[in-house]
Structure formats: structure tokens, C-alpha cells
Amino acid sequence: MNYSESLQYLEELNVFGTSLGLVRIKKLLELMGNPQNEYKTVHVTGTNGKGSVTCMLTEILKESGIKVGMFTSPHLDSYTERVIINGEEISQDKFSAAITVVSDLCDFMVGEGDEHPTQFEVLTAAAFYIFMKEKVEYAVIEVGLGGLLDSTNVITPEVSVITNVSFEHADKCGGTLEGIAEHKAGIIKAGVPVITGAAGKALEIIREKAAENKASIYVAGEDFDAKPTKPLGQLSIPPNLGNVGNGSMNPSMIDLQIEALSALPYGRCESGDTTKTQLVEFTSHNDQMASMDYKLALMGLHQVGNSGLAAAAAMLLAVDDLRITQRALKKAMTSVKWPGRFEVMARDGFELIIDGAHNPAGIKTLRDSLDYYYPGRKRIFVLGILRDKDFEGMMEALLRPEDTVIFTTPLSERAAQPADLLEYANVNEKEAVDEPRTALERGMALAEASVTEGKETVLICAGSLYLIGYLRAFLKSEKC
């Protein structure tokens, strides 16, 4: 099938919905010769930040001279975004060729009396097949939903990463926070080190699972920290620079420490610079990692923590792969791009932010980042939210009374009606505009008017990936 036919096939698979379980994907991959076993992998799950961590770690491996694949979901604009090799989207021809191989095997399974694999299972199998055909050395794999029963949970990775755990998809992951944590901890494998930013009861469950599997665990805030540094001119020297502990650190780790002094201090957010960076101070509290400072191209306070998880994972990989050095890590962090995650676009007189925050935890992180980077600016929001979300909690966490909100409709059958959201926004200025592009144009007009009045202004588009993907493509088309 060609690319258009492969897209039609994938859309038709929506009839199977989301059906967690590993029976179908294991059978499918066995028929393919288990391509996922032909390269090393890193597995990443979590409620928020897993895509960003996956992207950062992939970039570190690429800058280390390693051929690396990346599998993420969902996409913002094109299915080919989900399968990346050395920073490049897979071609439409290669994507459709892989879907053709997988679809033929799905037909064989049905003929044998098996259930037809779901859309995500087909995409997962296609990605694993592409990585094999392209002969990648590593693949960084993002979990689709949960972890334990997710179709990606057929790999035995070098490192497992659990970013955090909060209350989302509870209906599919046990109904409680504890149930969600158990599902995410389900990616932990025997003897495979685990890195996590989880806390509280979720962390307890992850620790228990790691102990059961005799897997070392490294916890953000305990074994390592990643924090935005002090303002320009107050950069501190990493506290354990040159300390190689009991001698267990390999030459790559020593290199990481020696080069730590080369980091240049950057301000939190340089006015007028469309390629903003923030300086992160990574502090290690164990001999498997090294303290350092690095510049991070991704904005948002949450990305500081995400970068720490990626850096920690890279350092554990470096124990056995000396190609992974601080030089590669720093270069990767400076150049990494992850569209739609606190992505700042400079407009004429104001800044526009595209952010994929779509649940209470993500929304709170967005608010914290706005308070940190733009504390005194007027804020105008274009928000589209799915109807199965916690509207009231999201609005309470995000909005100030002085903010302006335009509700619109994400491109999803699960979209909440904009007019129904008005009552949840405790702000003085709010309206509902059904069509997303019209809502964006309305927001931009209000932002331009605010600038004319002499107010520093930021326009934020958020609430659903189904919304921001559409709006981002529109903005990138230069039609506005």
C-alpha cells in the first residue's frame, strides 16, 4: 500500500479502540522474527514528560555518534513523526512499506483465529520493524498508555525511566493512583536499572517493584537533582567536581566531570532571543553520575526536571558505552527540539506559546512556568479540552482572575464543547469560539491590541494535543 492507503488502514483500525494486553503484540512480533531484540532499547513511561525525556535521550545518543531510533506518540501533524531515526522522520515510503508488512501479518493472525491487533499495536510493530531494517544501535521507546499492558512492554531495555505518576487514565490502569503506579512500574525488568522522578506512594510502589526485580533505582531529588541555576554571574561550581568516589566511575564519567567547568552561564530567558535557553545545574549524589551544568534549549520549568532524568539515563548507559560523553550530552541539550511543549514562537510585539498540557499535572506545570518566565505579563489563552478531563481542576490551577480565555474545539470526537467550559473559568474576560483557527486569530488580535496599549503580553495555546497540533501546523504555514 502507498502512504495514503496506509493512513486509511490505520484510521480503520480505530474500530478496535484501546485494548490493553500483550497477547496480540507478542504474536505479531513473533511472526516478524521479534525485530525489537535486534538493538538496544531504553523504555520511558510516566504521566507527564515521557515524550520530552525520550526526545532528549535520543538526541544525546545521536550526538554520541550512535545510530538511534525514537518511537513516540501521539503525533502532532503526521504519523511519520512517531518514528524518528537520527533526528529525521521516517519517509512516507518506508512508513507505508512497514505498515504493509504488518497489515499482511495481521490478516494472517485473523485467519488463524486470533484477534486483530489494535492501531497502536500495528504502529508499535511497524516502528520496531523499521528500526531493525534501518539497523539502529539503540531505540528509545515511549510507552503509549500505562506500561504493564502497553504494547511497547515487550522489550528488555538497558534502562527504564518512569518520569512521574499522577491521576490520569485511571479507568484503564486500576482506578486509583496506586493502580496507575503499578501499571507504570510494570515496565521494570529483572536487573535493569530504573530512573524515576516519582514521589510519595507512587515512589513506594516503584521501589517495591524494583526490589522484586533486583533492579537498581535512582530517584530524582535523592540520587540526583536538576535545577534552574541562579541568575547570570552567580553560577556555582558542581560540588563533586573531580570526585571519582571509590574508583568505579569509567573514563566517560570522568570526562563528564572534567568538562563541567566549560558550561557558560545563561540568563533564565533572554529577551528578544527566539532560540531561548536556560541553564540547568545537574547535581549527582552517587558515583554512577557526575555533576555538571548544561544549557537546555527547551523552555519550561518542567523541562529542567525532564532533562535531569534524561541526563541520568545517559550516564547509566555511559557506564557500558564510552561514546556517551559530557560533550555529547551538552551539545544535545543545547540543540534538542520537542515541538508543542512550552514551545515559544516570537510574534510581532508579543510571544506565543504552544504547550501540550492536557491534564491537571501538566496544567499546573504550565502555570508554574508562566509564573517563572512571565510573571508580570498579560496572559491570553486559547484552550481546547477533551470532555473526559477535570475541567474545574485544570482551570483553577491555570488561570488568574485578570487573564483572558478563549475556549475552542480540539479536533477530536472527545472534544468538550467550548460554551460548556465557560463556567469553569474564573476570569473577567472569556468567550467561546468553536473553530480553532478563528479562535487563534481572535487571540492574536487581542494580543496585538494589548501590545498597542503598552502591555507586555503572552498568548498561550494549550489544553489538548489535538488542538495544538492543528494550531502549530497553521502557524508554521505562515498564513497568519
User: What distance in Å separates the CA atoms of residue 373 and residue 271, rounded to the nearest whole number?
Assistant: 11
User: What distance in Å separates the CA atoms of residue 142 and residue 42, rounded to the nearest whole number?
Assistant: 9
Domains and CATH numbers, the chain: 3-219 (3.40.1190.10), 224-335 (no CATH), 343-476 (3.90.190.20)
Please report which confidence band the pLDDT of residue 473 belongs to, taking 50, 70 and 90 as the band edges. Answer: confident
The predicted model scores a pTM of 0.82
Asked if pLDDT for residue 438 goes beyond 50, the answer is: yes
pLDDT tens-digit readout, 20-79: 789 999 999 999 999 999 999 999 999 889 999 999 999 999 999 999 999 999 888 899
Please report which confidence band the pLDDT of residue 176 belongs to, taking 50, 70 and 90 as the band edges. Answer: confident
Please report which confidence band the pLDDT of residue 163 belongs to, taking 50, 70 and 90 as the band edges. Answer: very high
Residue pair 130/95 in contact (Cβ under 8 Å)? The answer is yes
Please report which confidence band the pLDDT of residue 478 belongs to, taking 50, 70 and 90 as the band edges. Answer: low
Rounded percentage of the chain residues whose pLDDT exceeds 90: 70
Length of the chain: 480
User: What distance in Å separates the CA atoms of residue 44 and residue 61, rounded to the nearest whole number?
Assistant: 15
Please report which confidence band the pLDDT of residue 361 belongs to, taking 50, 70 and 90 as the band edges. Answer: confident
Asked if pLDDT for residue 261 goes beyond 60, the answer is: no
Residue pair 93/6 in contact (Cβ under 8 Å)? The answer is no
Q: What does the mean pLDDT of the chain come to?
A: 87
Residue 460 has what pLDDT? Answer: 97
Is the bond preceding residue 74 a cis peptide, omega within 30 degrees?
yes
The residue written with cell numbers 514551545 in the block is 343
Residue 302 has what pLDDT? Answer: 87
Residue 85 has what pLDDT? Answer: 98
pLDDT tens-digit readout, 74-101: 888 899 999 999 999 999 999 999 999 9
The burial class, CB within 10 Å (0-12 / 13-18 / 19+), for 203 is buried
Q: What is the mean pLDDT of residues 367-371?
A: 92
Q: What is the mean pLDDT of residues 367-381?
A: 93
Please report which confidence band the pLDDT of residue 300 belongs to, taking 50, 70 and 90 as the band edges. Answer: confident
pLDDT tens-digit readout, 207-258: 999 999 999 999 999 999 999 984 333 333 333 333 333 334 444 443 443 3
Q: What is the mean pLDDT of residues 386-407?
A: 92
Higher pLDDT, 341 or 183: 183
Please report which confidence band the pLDDT of residue 108 belongs to, taking 50, 70 and 90 as the band edges. Answer: very high
Strand-pair partners of 282? 226, 292
Q: What is the mean pLDDT of residues 413-435?
A: 94
Residue 262 has what pLDDT? Answer: 34
**Alpha-carbon dihedral sign for residues 235, 239, 242, 247:** negative
Residue 208 has what pLDDT? Answer: 98
**Lowest-pLDDT range of 141-145, 317-321, 370-374, 436-440:** 370-374
